[in-house]
Amino acid sequence: GTAGAAAGDAGAERPEPCLSLLPWDRFSAWLHCVCVVGFDLELGQAVEVIYPPHSKLTDKEKTNICYLSFPDSNSGCHGDTQFCFRFRRSPGRKVSFCCFLDQLDRDLPVYLKKDSAYYYGYVYFRQVRDKSLKRGYFQKSLVLISKLPYVHLFRTMLKQIAPEYFEKSEAFLEAVCSDVDRWPPPVPGQVLQLPIMGVIMKLRIPTYRDKPGTTPIVQNMLQADAQISMALPTVHEVDLFRCFCPVFFHIQMLWELVLLGEPLVVMAPSPSESSETVLALVSCISPLKYCSDFRPYFTIHDSEFKEYTTRTQAPPSVILGVTNPFFAKTLQHWPHIIRIGDIKLPGEVPKQVKVKKLKNLKTLDSKPGVYTSYKPYLNKDEEIVKQLQKGVQQKRPTEAQSVILRRYFLELTESFIIPLERYVASLMPLQKSISPWKSPPQLRQFSQEDFMKTLEKAGPQLTSGLKGDWIGLYRHFLKSPNFDGWFRSRQKEMTQKLEALHLEALCNENLVFWSQKHTEVETVDLVLKLKNKLLQADREHLPVKTDTLKKLQTHINDIILALPDDLQDILLKTGT
């Protein structure tokens, strides 16, 4: 068994052994499937092709994909349009994923971990005049379905392949998919090279160890074989400044609304603007994870339409991106509505706009702006507005403006979350209270009042100059889904840390000496408990050093060997 254990150890460092993969395993690590959605005069929108052919989609999923892959008819999207959507997976399907991919998920920052209840759809839609067709229009969408939120990667990939696909045919799609099936797995922190139809995309997926706000640059190396390579600056980020431009003066209020998980609707002229804006909103509280549902593009055919637009209860904690004017009526009871005109980059500085009253939203041609009666908790940061306005005057590139905006949101979020991190860390029991012979101690309870008391000396004022009602903002946040999600993942991390410390304490004991002083029954009990500990460490991926586990395995073997032969046989067989 020792050679096997050693080999298993080596495998933890580099995940190669797992990659004796079957056909389509590599493909599945990135994509669930590729769909082509067309328009049929008899059937309306229909999924014409699913590739690879064995991909499973339920009828409900297909219906969602059909409607979400086309812009609303009133969007008037001529030519080519790219956007994305997100929809619920049908329950009850088992996720056939090699364990190795879950391991990758653990190295991601929280906001990039995949949510197995949802799929993303990345769309490239083309609508062009075509006299030979009955409707006079060619309308088709190429759609990538994936669990991964790597918006920029899939957008870039579609830009590469879709125009050519529309010229060619299924054989081309097959070639694309077999390219993807040769990609390395999506390992965070490594520079990956992904070949796609003669081009190599180079990128790096962030890890939770990256310092927030830094993106290691992927260099464009010259290929020896002269293949064109494209370095992607990011896999998941959208152009923040472009998205927030239409609501430029309200960015801080929008940050509060997203942080608190308030119901938000984005009404935009097209799915590309609605989806980019929703994704920008969700990402503005990063590195916190937005824990509620969000729909970059939502239509009246969506399977959750009734649930989300009902008037019988308060609007749910979700962010919806919509383009159909019908929603101006259906959602007028929502507390916060963002209207966006066509997203154009400002040549001149946007004019100062007041927050608009909700009752003015009844008409469809309402002006762009934020409609809400929400009063922000924090005073407005005039500095960021000045800085971005100056950028517009000096024709600063939008990437640079986005970097400034992203840093501003990051500093705001960190100032807000650091006091919470500090308080929660104090709930951890002292290391000296961990005894190898008792079960690990529990975390202390989170007390809102105790936390509030810490804010006097160690509140956000240590890192942020912003004045305002921070206490009110915290009280509201503690009731939100984002706090709940954040606290639960912290709890899990700390509990696992305690389990790991407990394991280490056990390893430092002379267990063989202990077993000689105790009865056989107690010793057998100890062996079974220790074996369970090892299984748990493996199953829950406890943060334990490998040599600790080896040491424990040695202890177990030594104790067993000191027992009578008949017991040895039984114990060596159980629980391995």
> Is 357 within 8 Å of 335 (Cβ atoms)?
no
pLDDT in tens, 273-286: 999 999 999 999 99
* Cβ–Cβ < 8 Å for 441, 434: yes
**3-class DSSP assignment, residue 30:** helix
Tokens 């529309």 belong to residue: 166
Q: Specify the CATH architecture of the domain 239-494.
A: 3-Layer(aba) Sandwich (3.40)
Mean pLDDT check: name the lowest of 223-237, 451-465, 502-516, 544-558.
223-237
Token pair of 7 as six digits: 């080999």
Which residue's entry shows tokens 């310092």? Answer: 211
pLDDT given at position 61: 94
| The pLDDT of residue 4 | 36
Lay out the sheet containing 137-146: strands in order across. Answer: 44-51, 33-40, 137-146, 118-129, 79-88
CATH class of 25-182: alpha beta
Q: What is the DSSP letter of 468?
A: B
Host H or E run for residue 178: helix 170-180
Handedness of CA 21, 22, 23, 28 (dihedral sign): negative
33 contacts 181 by C-beta, under 8 angstroms: no
Q: What is the pLDDT of residues 419-452, one digit of tens each?
A: 999 999 999 998 888 888 888 888 999 999 999 9
Reported pTM = 0.88
Task: Report pLDDT for 194.
Answer: 94
> Within its chain, how far is the Cα of 573 from the centroid?
42
Amino acid at 388: L
Non-local (6+) Cβ contacts of 78 within 8 A are: 127, 128
Q: How far apart are CA 451 and CA 343, in angstroms?
A: 42
pLDDT at 354: 65
DSSP state of 231: E
**Segments making up each domain of the chain, as ranges:** 25-182, 239-494, 510-574
pLDDT of residue 15 exceeding 70: no
Structural contact between residues 317 and 481, judged by C-beta atoms closer than 8 angstroms: yes
Which DSSP category does 262 fall into? Answer: -
Of the candidates 176, 136, 133, 170, the residue with the CA atom closest to the CA atom of residue 158: 176
Report residue 384 as tokens. 């960021």
CA angle (425 as vertex; 421, 427 as ends), nearest 5: 125
Q: What is the pLDDT of residue 83?
A: 96
Q: How far apart are CA 134 and CA 273, in angstroms?
A: 30
